[in-house]
Structure 1
Amino acid sequence: MSHTPVYDLLTRAAGEHPDRPAVRDAAGRWSYAQLAAHSRRTAAWLAGRGVGHGDRVMVRLASGREYLALLYGTLALGAVLVPVNPAMRDFQLRGVIEDAEPALVVTDPAHTDAVRALTGRPVLGLDEAWAEIAEQEPAPVTTTAISRDVALLMYTSGTTSRPKAVVSEHAQVLAATRAVAARLRYRADDVVYCRLPLSFDYGLYQVFLAALAGAEIVVPGEVPDVMLLRGIRETAATVVPLVPSLSEMLVRLAARDPEPTSVRLFTNTGAALPPPSVAALRAAFPGASVSLMYGITECKRVSILEPDEDLDRPGSVGRPLPDTEVLVVDDGGRPLPPGETGEFVVRGPHVMSGYWRAPEQTARRFRRCERTGEVRLFTGDYGHRDAEGHLYFSGRRDDIFKRLGMRVSTLEVEAAALDVPGVREAVALAPDGSRDLTLFVVGGPEPAEVRRELRARLEAAKVPAAVLTVPAIPLTGNGKPDRKALAAGLA
């Protein structure tokens, strides 16, 4: 494993091509030399505020140039970046702050007072923080971070009723970045248009991939989706990472405005693009390739299809990354032959270190091999592999699902419902072919009021389509909620 801290990605890029564009947002552009200088100012500012090795710095911002300075400045100190989605509701954010215990929180100015009301920890708006950072002299970076030090805490979106962060060490982040880069092959002349939030690891790793290649990343922030195609054209973007909602919007926009673009590569992970969407994307952008990927935050990425390889291997999510082994195992952990469906188990240098302050959950998912001592990640995802080693994803056997492009958990929805005054019990049913996300509650206000309360606590994708009041929740013989009985009642 490498002993180079993540900050060295920026150090190397700034040393080899200081004047090359590094990052652009709606307000301007920085070269790699400028980004490095701003990150060193940020590191000096953080140190002056008492942030040190291993301390957490929480950033709750839309993407922008300053975000990258905060990212690299934090890593330069050997501190830990905690990126948080600016759309996260106060109900969830309070739990994340309590869990991470950040030394400092930087948020957008419009929400500074609201975040301060949630915690006694220092909270600064970006305007206040940046005014102080701009007055600093760029400090020389003598980082104390080594490969086993933590670089990132990545809070997963809706995986449990309590906050859960994946612990990402420097060596693991670098291993993931280099393995993805070996398959996607970003170039020095690429312009990566990243409409994704940097709190999403798919978005954040675009920063590292761009630095490794010496490419430019565009972080437009919260621009309306209808401006997506215009932004891609105006920045001469060549690489665009997509989730399904953005892909659909791009196809619609291109139908009205079919002029060619500079895009050579679309990538997709997070929520899979259905084959009709991939075909529509190719038809709308005939000069671009599409690379489909599969991964989870716990190891960043598992597999990647070569650009347009899905045309020859429909349904596949690609081969495992370099230096990565993926086993398909049965419920007893025994390896299965090609063609048989089981759980994906991942081994490789990019398997992360477990969950922050959650040893029981870590022990369930990150299991050490008795023979080799190596940690293997039991993903909870199911599928099969073919004789050549390509993977095919089938789904999950639990209550975590994708809805409107976001990972959602029934446990998280239930926890939010139980926070509504008067709700005594709550059980959520995941969507299936016959229904959308449905919530059953006992007690409390009327269903419409419950939905209004949930909209104040959850992102839109996590708000149930239907809320039903019942006198009691049916139970199984083990005293657990009988979800099958609830679903049968709906049918």
Structure 2
Amino acid sequence: MIPHHLFLYQHLDHSAARRADHVAVQDTRISLTYGALRQEAVAIARRLQTLGVQPGDRVILLLENSVDFARAYWGAVYAGAVVTPLSVETKTDKLGFILGDCTPAAVIADEALTDEVHVALPADLNPAVISLHAPGEITADGPAPCAGRVIDQDLGCMIYTSGSTGHPKGVMLSHQNLTAAARSVCTYLGYTEDDRIFVTIPLTFDYGMHQLTMGALVGATVVIERNFASPLFTLDRLVKSGATCFPLVPTMAPLISALADRFDFSGIRLISSTAAALHPRVIDQLREIFSQATVFSMYGLTECHRCTYLPPDQLERRKGSVGIAIPNTEMWVEDSEGQRHYRDATGTLVIRGATVMKGYWNNPEKTAQRLRPGKFPGEFVLNTGDLCRLDPEGYLYFIARSDDVLKIRGEKVAPKEVEDALLMHPAVSEAVVVGRPDKVQGHQLHALVTLKPGMSPDPKELRDWCAQHLESIAVPRRVEIREAFARNANGKIDRNSLIDELA
């Protein structure tokens, strides 16, 4: 039976008490048992306290996928801090914005990134910037430093996600949000203490991070892979690790398919996919490759973790569906008149339940667009903004996002962020970035620019510029230079005509 914990740190407390000598987390370098992981997390929490970190303060994690990330994550949780994970590829400008927005009390970073943090820090901020060294150098015992100082409505995590404005928004998630999400997803996935969960997706991505919380909830082992950049070597480690569960994002499937005949995947019992709806062709691919595994197709948003999952017994009948609401969650669609529908209708998806975020940090306007009063006083439901269809039996089919945020390799990229980077180049006059469908990546970014008079950079120079200012995932696949853009009646660039032209 899955325990019902009020606080995140109780996940680790529970498994450390039950399975102190069982491996909790491991990477290619080291492994830690539950007893050791808890001990080191408490020590990190106390170290954060000595640096002035109080419950409710934000602590940024700027760490590669690794056991160090797990140590830092649980250490911040035990301190009662709001864990704020960021990709190590976050560029200086974006990092500076996030630092200024969330005003962290501390930043735990890979040693190679501490200088970059100092460069990005706004002048009026002075958080403690620390790196973690070899595990085992510090030990501690006793209760969590935050015990009795937080309640389940307090924030446990904040995940920055891109939006159509190009400015990242901090999704505020309480302990209740996070523990409810872990229980719900563990319930239908059926994670057990005997599982070995192989994680290649970023731990800074909400579904990656939740592998740590779900693993600790049931006492499983989480095997952490740095990334999926070298699929051949990663799949070899997947098999050799004895993994039983393999969470992934849809764009990984074609890469796995190309190498599948080299490996014996019979030990994998469970495949789960999230970040975007699985295409029926990809479902067929995964079921063929992992013939002994149960495949779960899921769909969700950071703002509520997961929205839906497709029960595996419905895969043949409803391959195009993203399924039903996750346990302890209610969903419906609202039509253009605001009428609520539970079946046989198309409209905007709305989610109700304990996983719904508390709002966007420092952004009441965007919060009001997404959170609406619910059924009971003080309750809020999430207006996802996503256009979806419910079939006559209440199964959901995703149609489109409400804004132009794109998913590339399972991660969100805002075209405006890329446009802003291009417009920083001294030769660029105007920039438009659109997404083109791609079977492997999900989308490719295609940038079109006009130049200032007398300027003549070539496309490669502009791509290199983007690489200097953006994460690799946001660098356009192609940059095209144009004389001028078509405009609509309001004098604005006709983006829709460009999208149609490039389709």
Do these two structures clear the TM 0.5 threshold for a shared fold by scoring above it? yes
1:365 to 362, 365, 370: 370
Match of 1:62, SS state, is coil
Q: Which residue of 1 aligns with 2:60?
A: 58
Whole-Å separation in 1 of the counterparts to 2:176 and 2:158? 14
Whole-Å separation in 2 of the counterparts to 1:180 and 1:334? 29
Structure 2 residue 257 is the aligned partner of structure 1 residue 254: no
Whole-Å separation in 1 of the counterparts to 2:102 and 2:227? 26
1:162 to 154, 159, 167: 167
Per the TM alignment, residue 28 of structure 1 is displaced from its structure 2 partner at its CA by 2.1
Per the TM alignment, residue 43 of structure 1 is displaced from its structure 2 partner at its CA by 0.6
Mapped contact 1:301–1:321 kept (Cα < 8 A): yes
**Structure 2, gaps ≥5 residues long:** none
Q: Which residue of 2 aligns with 1:353?
A: 358
Structure 2 residue 346 is the aligned partner of structure 1 residue 341: yes
Alignment of structure 1 residues 318-329 onto 2, 5 Å: 318-329=323-334
Alignment of structure 1 residues 270-419 onto 2, 5 Å: 270-336=275-341, 338-369=343-374, 372-419=377-424
Whole-Å separation in 1 of the counterparts to 2:429 and 2:288? 51
Structure 2 residue 462 is the aligned partner of structure 1 residue 457: no
In percent, how many aligned pairs have the same letter? 36
Mapped contact 1:316–1:393 kept (Cα < 8 A): yes
Count matched residues: 486
Mapped contact 1:84–1:199 kept (Cα < 8 A): yes
Write out per-residue CA displacement over residues 281-314 of structure 1, whole angstroms, 9 at most, x where no aligned residue: 2222221111110100000001112235312322
Write out per-residue CA displacement over residues 200-249 of structure 1, whole angstroms, 9 at most, x where no aligned residue: 00100011111111111111224632212211122100000011233223
Match of 2:368, SS state, is helix
Q: Which residue of 2 aligns with 1:438?
A: 446
Q: Which residue of 2 aligns with 1:233?
A: 239
Write out per-residue CA displacement over residues 253-292 of structure 1, whole angstroms, 9 at most, x where no aligned residue: 22123x3431100000013332222212222222111111
CA gap 1:371/1:26 in 2 versus in 1, 3 angstroms: closer
Per the TM alignment, residue 481 of structure 1 is displaced from its structure 2 partner at its CA by 3.2
Structure 2 residue 133 is the aligned partner of structure 1 residue 130: yes
CA gap 1:436/1:196 in 2 versus in 1, 3 angstroms: closer
Moved more, 155-164 or 45-54: 155-164
Alignment of structure 1 residues 449-488 onto 2, 5 Å: 449-470=461-482, 473-487=485-499
Alignment of structure 1 residues 159-238 onto 2, 5 Å: 159-222=164-227, 224-238=230-244
Question: Structure 1 counterpart of 2:355, which letter?
Answer: H
Mapped contact 1:158–1:412 kept (Cα < 8 A): no
Whole-Å separation in 2 of the counterparts to 1:49 and 1:462? 35
CA gap 1:158/1:417 in 2 versus in 1, 3 angstroms: farther
Mapped contact 1:43–1:77 kept (Cα < 8 A): yes
Whole-Å separation in 2 of the counterparts to 1:193 and 1:84? 21
Q: Which residue of 1 aligns with 2:119?
A: 117
Whole-Å separation in 1 of the counterparts to 2:255 and 2:498? 36
2:34 to 32, 57, 67: 32
CA gap 1:490/1:22 in 2 versus in 1, 3 angstroms: closer
Mapped contact 1:304–1:317 kept (Cα < 8 A): yes
Q: Which residue of 1 aligns with 2:87?
A: 85
Match of 1:58, SS state, is strand
2:69 to 67, 70, 73: 67
Q: Which residue of 2 aligns with 1:423?
A: 428
Whole-Å separation in 2 of the counterparts to 1:477 and 1:24? 58
Whole-Å separation in 2 of the counterparts to 1:71 and 1:109? 16
Whole-Å separation in 2 of the counterparts to 1:409 and 1:200? 16
CA gap 1:365/1:133 in 2 versus in 1, 3 angstroms: farther
Whole-Å separation in 2 of the counterparts to 1:3 and 1:244? 31
Moved more, 294-303 or 275-284: 275-284
Per the TM alignment, residue 59 of structure 1 is displaced from its structure 2 partner at its CA by 0.8
Whole-Å separation in 1 of the counterparts to 2:432 and 2:277? 27
Whole-Å separation in 2 of the counterparts to 1:125 and 1:27? 21
CA gap 1:364/1:416 in 2 versus in 1, 3 angstroms: same
Question: Structure 2 counterpart of 1:97, which letter?
Answer: L
Write out per-residue CA displacement over residues 181-211 of structure 1, whole angstroms, 9 at most, x where no aligned residue: 1111101100000111110001000111111
**Structure 1, gaps ≥5 residues long:** none
Per the TM alignment, residue 382 of structure 1 is displaced from its structure 2 partner at its CA by 1.4
Write out per-residue CA displacement over residues 76-118 of structure 1, whole angstroms, 9 at most, x where no aligned residue: 1211111001122223222222222111212222222222221
Per the TM alignment, residue 122 of structure 1 is displaced from its structure 2 partner at its CA by 4.2
CA gap 1:76/1:260 in 2 versus in 1, 3 angstroms: closer
Moved more, 12-21 or 371-380: 371-380
Question: Structure 2 counterpart of 1:440, which letter?
Answer: L
Q: Which residue of 2 aligns with 1:100?
A: 102
Whole-Å separation in 1 of the counterparts to 2:248 and 2:500? 37
Moved more, 73-82 or 292-301: 73-82
Mapped contact 2:40–2:140 kept (Cα < 8 A): no
CA gap 1:73/1:159 in 2 versus in 1, 3 angstroms: farther
RMSD across aligned positions (CA): 2.5
CA gap 1:488/1:251 in 2 versus in 1, 3 angstroms: closer
Per the TM alignment, residue 158 of structure 1 is displaced from its structure 2 partner at its CA by 5.4
Mapped contact 1:243–1:272 kept (Cα < 8 A): no
Match of 2:466, SS state, is helix
Moved more, 367-376 or 110-119: 367-376
